[in-house]
């Protein structure tokens, strides 16, 4: 009996070792590091990417509503509340889509879908439609903070893109959307003084993202908001040290809490102060440790939450590119390329869960790659 017991123990130990080596299937999600060529946004890729927002920007269903009903009269199709931003599954993704069209039309005026995109923007961005979007924020007591602050931030980016486009149509759309942006800017200024603690998550409510995306337009159009963003950023983040990048990502992240904070502070701090701050915030990079981050793996792109991780790869890139330039780091620029390259070939797979929004994230990464 004793011999049999020893044999059983040995067999158990061998089996345990084999299980550890197999990793319970974990080998399927191990990122295999390899040299990559920096992806570039050329006309051929632009043609593929513009097809994604065009496919969904006027598609009313499926739709994920964020509306809190005050009474049954508000139970209507989304297009009645949002005649501009009703497509692409939800309001903020529709804002993404409008920005994507504008950005690609600016970069590639000879793109085949230019006229189609212009027609849609003309239909959507009208004075009457924008007023209905504005009115929604006063529809009832529950809609006044609709899309705070993620959707707000994308409206700011869309408006900035239009403002910086010398094209007459772009200027006309800018003037038309500006009243909505004015409302959003005012809402930021009402909200931020009351936010006691920053929200440090990898999804929509991340505070650093909402401040960073709003800041660029605020500097030119809303100086009081820009000053408020600067002061709040310092209050929230100035004393942060040793951001735990090794804890990232969480399973549903499409934003990096550490990198979004880094991106914001790069904008609001003077250069010398930023150098001192980031050396405390992520000290690992002072040692040239490129392997601290690897692209996130998506095992099921039919899952609307799991596919967030493709977006994370793009948003990491858009934070890394300008940071790498600011500290003259080749290895961090290559790390940004690695993340962008990993997901750029995977977002036109025909599944609506990713296709309705990922083109905008990829395009914003390319925008930051170009140093804009």
Tell me how crowded residue 107 is: count the other CB atoms within 10 A of its CB: 16
Position 2 in a domain: no
Rounded to an integer, what distance in angstroms lies between the CA atom of residue 247 and that of residue 72? 44
Tell me how crowded residue 298 is: count the other CB atoms within 10 A of its CB: 20
pLDDT at position 290: 56
Position 304 in a domain: yes
pLDDT at position 288: 54
Position 157 in a domain: yes
Whole-angstrom CA distances from 281 to 212, 266, 317 are 17, 12, 18
Q: Which CATH number characterizes residue 57's domain?
A: 1.50.10
Cα dihedral across residues 107, 109, 112, 117: positive or negative? positive
Position 232 in a domain: yes
Rounded to an integer, what distance in angstroms lies between the CA atom of residue 140 and that of residue 151? 18
Rounded to an integer, what distance in angstroms lies between the CA atom of residue 142 and that of residue 66? 10
Closest CA to 177 of 136, 244, 249, 128: 128
Domain, as residue range, for 341: 36-369
Position 59 in a domain: yes
Rounded to an integer, what distance in angstroms lies between the CA atom of residue 111 and that of residue 226? 35
What pTM was estimated for this model as a whole?
0.91
Position 22 in a domain: no
Kindly report the length of the chain.
Answer: 372
Averages of pLDDT over runs of 10 residues in the chain (372 residues) are 42 38 40 76 98 98 94 96 98 98 98 98 98 97 97 98 98 98 98 98 98 98 98 98 94 98 98 96 71 90 96 98 94 95 91 96 97 79
Position 318 in a domain: yes
Q: Count of alpha carbons within 13 Å of 108, Cβ hemisphere only?
A: 20
Rounded to an integer, what distance in angstroms lies between the CA atom of residue 70 and that of residue 141? 8
Q: Are 53 and 100 in contact (CB under 8 A)?
A: yes
Which residue's structure tokens are 């809402």?
187
Count of domains forming the chain: 1
214 Cβ neighbours under 8 A, 6+ residues apart: 149, 152, 153, 156, 185, 188, 225, 229
3-state DSSP of 184-224: HHHHHHHHHHHCCCCCCCCCCCCHHHHHHHHHHHHHHHCHH
DSSP 292: G
DSSP 63: -
Position 207 in a domain: yes
Rounded to an integer, what distance in angstroms lies between the CA atom of residue 367 and that of residue 202? 21
């Amino acid at each position: 009996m004793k011999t049999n017991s020893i044999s059983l123990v040995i067999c158990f130990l061998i089996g345990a070792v084999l299980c550890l080596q197999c990793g319970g299937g974990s080998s399927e999600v191990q990122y295999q590091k390899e040299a990559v060529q920096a992806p570039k946004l050329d006309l051929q890729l632009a043609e593929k990417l513009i097809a994604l927002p065009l496919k969904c920007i006027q598609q009313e269903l499926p739709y994920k509503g964020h509306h809190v009903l005050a009474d049954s009269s508000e139970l209507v199709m989304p297009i009645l509340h949002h005649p501009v931003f009703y497509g692409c599954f939800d309001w903020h993704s529709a804002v993404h889509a409008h920005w994507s069209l504008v950005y690609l039309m600016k970069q590639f005026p000879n793109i085949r879908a230019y006229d189609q995109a212009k027609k849609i923007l003309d239909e959507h961005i009208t004075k009457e439609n924008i007023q209905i979007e504005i009115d929604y924020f006063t529809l009832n007591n529950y809609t006044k903070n609709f899309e705070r602050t993620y959707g707000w931030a994308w409206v700011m980016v869309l408006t900035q893109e239009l403002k910086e486009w010398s094209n007459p149509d772009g200027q006309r759309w800018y003037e038309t959307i500006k009243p909505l942006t004015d409302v959003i800017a005012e809402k930021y200024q009402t909200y931020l003084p009351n936010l006691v603690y920053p929200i440090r998550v990898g999804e929509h409510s991340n505070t650093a993202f909402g401040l960073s995306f709003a800041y660029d337009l605020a500097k030119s159009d809303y100086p009081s908001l820009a000053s408020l963003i600067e002061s709040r950023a310092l209050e929230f983040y100035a004393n942060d040290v040793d951001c735990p990048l090794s804890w990232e990502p969480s399973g549903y992240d499409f934003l990096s809490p550490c990198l979004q904070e880094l991106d914001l502070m790069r904008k609001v701090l003077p250069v010398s102060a930023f150098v001192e701050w980031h050396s405390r915030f992520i000290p690992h990079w002072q040692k040239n440790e490129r392997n601290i981050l690897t692209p996130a793996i998506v095992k099921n792109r039919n899952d609307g939450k799991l596919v967030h991780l493709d977006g994370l790869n793009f948003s990491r890139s858009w934070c890394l590119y300008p940071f790498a330039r600011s500290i003259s780091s080749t290895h961090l620029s290559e790390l940004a390329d690695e993340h962008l390259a990993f997901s750029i070939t995977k977002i036109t797979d025909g599944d609506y869960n990713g296709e309705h929004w990922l083109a905008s994230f990829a395009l914003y990464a390319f925008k930051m790659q170009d140093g804009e």
